[in-house]
Structure 1
Amino acid sequence: MAASITSISYTASLRSFPSKTHLRPPNPTLKNLSFLHKIPSSSISIQTQFTPNPPSSSLQQIPDSDTQSAPDDESILSSLPPTLRDIVRLFRTVSDPRAKYEQLLHYARTLPPMDPSLKTDRDKVRGCVSQVWVHARAISDAEVAASSESVRVRFEADSDAVITKGLASLLVQGLSGCSASEVVRVRPEFLGLLGLQQSLTPSRNNGFLNMLSTMQRKALEIELGGGGGGEASVVNDRLGIGSEKVEKDEILSGGDANSGGGEGRLGERGRRIGEVLMRELKPVELRIEDESHKHAGHAGVGGRAGEGGETHFNVRVVSEAFEGKRLLKRHRMVYDLLKDELESGLHALSIDAKTPEEIGGN
């Protein structure tokens, strides 16, 4: 017997990089500095309706995302592993944009060469204007202390564009040697703290986020025993600062992206995502946000992604199916359920996966 149709409220929010850097760095003495060795949110709320045949569980409306405060600088910094945090703080000590730009060029020059055999489609970063490759491997027991509680990851990267190469080098230096969990906890908003907005075009910003997403995906796959070589989505965990509870969990992809609508009703892909999650996870709460319109700078691709430009979504799922599962396992569950979409044009899927008990405890 068909279930009664239930409406679920969704909100699409618009994020953008600020046109100016709102930082208050000290006035450095540049003559003594040889080398320095997303994001505020303005939201547009749009209500759409998703009406599959839901399971019998009641669905609760979740507060609009634009009512949640954007993370402050310190919370973003605290999500970074120590080496990357130091890099960001050193960039922030310089107020001259030219000095920041020169430092980025220095990172490009000092990036260790990448083995040409690794420059394959398997390790190519999608969605970048220039060619970029990222390779990840687990650090062997001989390279890391035996007491390490998590898999450690080492990255290699290269690009045919000097600015992109500098950004890749920054990430390689900041993330190599970190545990997989440290890598996937990194908030992409930290790019705004570097103060490079005057040096980076929107397409470079998108490319940087795609590089980070690729590294996070590969780190997760290594953690889960997949070898870090897949081409589908990236799981980017964002944990609550000072808390073990999830603040925001993301699956991002290194894929290209089209300009999305983000307005009005959910399109075909959004409805398919909702139907799969309703059927398989039987959530007590579900929200889907189409934010494809925020990624108009990405290169276009064919396939089903062209159907209305549905390439980027935020999804929040509250389900008993997550009970007793670690964060990465929850992400893997959603990743597997939406694998067909991720392989056919869905480029970024931001996930917040919680249990009813966790929601009740907030």
Structure 2
Amino acid sequence: MFSVPPSSSPAVSLQPIEELPPKLQEIIQLFQGVQEPKAKYEQLLFYGRNLNPLESQYKTSENKVQGCVSQVWVRAYLDKDRNVIFEADSDSLLTKGLAALLVQGLSGQPVKEILRVSPDFVVLLGLQQSLTPSRNNGFLNMLKLMQKKALQLYVEAEKDDDSSTVGKNLVENSNLVMNGENGGNGGLESSENAIDLKEGLGNQSVLGSRGKRIKEMLEKEIRPVELEVEDISYQHAGHSGVKGSDGETHFNVKIVSEEFEGKSLVKRHRLIYSLLQDELQNGLHALSIVAKTPSEIDTL
């Protein structure tokens, strides 16, 4: 699911490790020190065994991660300093390990730092080779739910704070923008050009010009039976690689097509990258891809 293009394609930059939360940096460095895929797998199981179980009262549909092969639940709340604390659980030890990795790496961070985390950090972990595509997809869905819950907590907290003009504007206008260059209000502020709250929570129905071009190209050349193109550039606002761009720099793509029959994951990704060469050479920084055949659609 998460991959970088082959050497013949333009380099796709990953989020610098220095921009990730400190605990997540430590976890990445730990996994990078483990060379064997089997050893990485065992490390995940270790994380799973040591994750505190989630109380049954929190195993609700609202807290359940969609799109996972196993059942996964995520709970989030704010501490006294308005940092986000996560709890999670799963009926699968391996998936529980993935959840534990995110819980440890993201807990105790302010909302703006959690929203800045790009899903491509799994490449830095080196886990994409140790997990099946469905596990990788579930891992992405866990992260997205955590970011969604963090954003909801922020809006609710600011709504209750009568002294916060920014909080009032966020709730009244339902707009959110991540501004990494102006930290005057913690990196969150309302704006005429702000990303709509629903879009920030994963609604990819409204795309800019680049997103529309990507969608049109894939529809024309691959003839998908299912296609989702999601602009997640808001997560990278203020990153050095984004400055000076048109703002459409990072996308999630989920595509189901018969064109992928008989092709390995690498060949599927290579096909998509080749079709989007022009975009990659002109400001598109990263793609996170889920490419399936119709017969594999049940694993999405």
User: How does the TM-score come out when normalised to structure 2?
Assistant: 0.56
AA of the residue aligned to 1:76: P
**Distance of 1:292 and 1:159 partners within structure 2:** 38
Corresponding residue for 1:189?
120
Alpha-carbon shift at residue 216 of structure 1 (Å): 0.6
Q: Please show how residues 271-310 of structure 1 align to structure 2 within 5 Å.
A: 273=206, 287-288=211-212, 289-290=214-215, 308-310=225-227
> Is 1:71 equivalent to 2:2 in the alignment?
no
Q: 2:49 aligns with which of 109, 112, 121?
A: 109
- 1:215-234 Cα distance to aligned partner (Å, 9 max, x none): 0111111111179xxxxxxx
Q: Structure 1's 173 and 315: CA in aligned 2 closer, same or farther, altered over 3 A?
A: closer
Post-superposition shift, 1:113? 1.1
Give the Cα separation in 1 of the matches to 2:59 and 2:103.
Answer: 16
Cα deviation, 1:137-167, whole Å, max 9, x if unaligned, reads 111x2xx4xxxxxx31000111111111100
Q: How does 1:28-107 map to 2 (within 5 A)?
A: 39-41=3-5, 69-72=11-14, 75-107=15-47
Question: For 1:201, which of 132, 142, 149 is the aligned residue?
Answer: 132
Change (3 A) 1:212 1:89: same
Write out per-residue CA displacement over residues 213-260 of structure 1, whole angstroms, 9 at most, x where no aligned residue.
110111111111179xxxxxxx996958xxx8xxxx88464x9xxxxx
Partners of 1:40 and 1:238 in 2: CA distance = 27
The structure number with the bigger radius of gyration is 1
Q: CA 1:226/1:202 → structure 2, altered by over 3 Å: closer, same or farther?
A: farther
Deviations 1:198-220 (A, max 9, x none): 32000000000000011011111
Give deviations 1:104-152, integer Å, cap 9, x for gaps.
111000001101001010101111111111110111x2xx4xxxxxx31
Q: Distance in 1 between matches of 2:78 and 2:71?
A: 24
Whether the aligned pair in 2 keeps the contact of 1:292 and 1:313 (CA below 8 Å) is no
Q: CA, structure 1 residues 286+70, in 2 after alignment: closer, same or farther (shift >3 Å)?
A: closer
1:237 to 1:86, Cα distance in 2 relative to 1, 3 A: farther
**Counterparts of 1:291 and 1:107, CA distance in 2:** 42
* Match among 211, 214, 218 for residue 145 of structure 2: 214
Which of 154, 172, 195 is the equivalent residue of 1:223? 154
| Residues 326-345 of structure 1 mapped to structure 2, 5 A cutoff | none
8 A contact 2:211–2:229 mirrored in 1: no
* Shift in Å, 1:290: 2.9
Show structure 1 runs of 5+ residues with no match: 1-15, 18-38, 43-65, 145-150, 228-234, 256-268, 278-284, 295-306, 318-362
User: Unmatched 5+ residue regions in structure 2?
Assistant: 159-175, 182-186, 188-194, 235-300
Deviation, structure 1 residue 292: 12
**What is the Cα deviation at residue 311 of structure 1?**
3.3
- Check whether the contact 1:81–1:182 (CA below 8 A) recurs between aligned residues: yes
CA distance in 2, matches of 1:196, 1:290: 28
Return closer, same or farther for 1:292/1:310 CA change in 2, 3 Å cut-off: farther
Question: Alignment RMSD, CA only?
Answer: 3.8
Does the 8 Å contact 2:102/2:143 carry over to 1? yes
The percentage of aligned residue pairs carrying the same residue is 45
Q: Distance in 2 between matches of 1:201 and 1:78?
A: 28
Name the SS for the 2:156 alignment partner.
coil
Amino acid corresponding to residue 99 of structure 2 in structure 1: A
Structure 2 counterpart of 1:156: 87
- Amino acid aligned to 2:105: G
CA displacement at 1:78 relative to structure 2: 1.9
- Which structure has greater helix proportion? 2
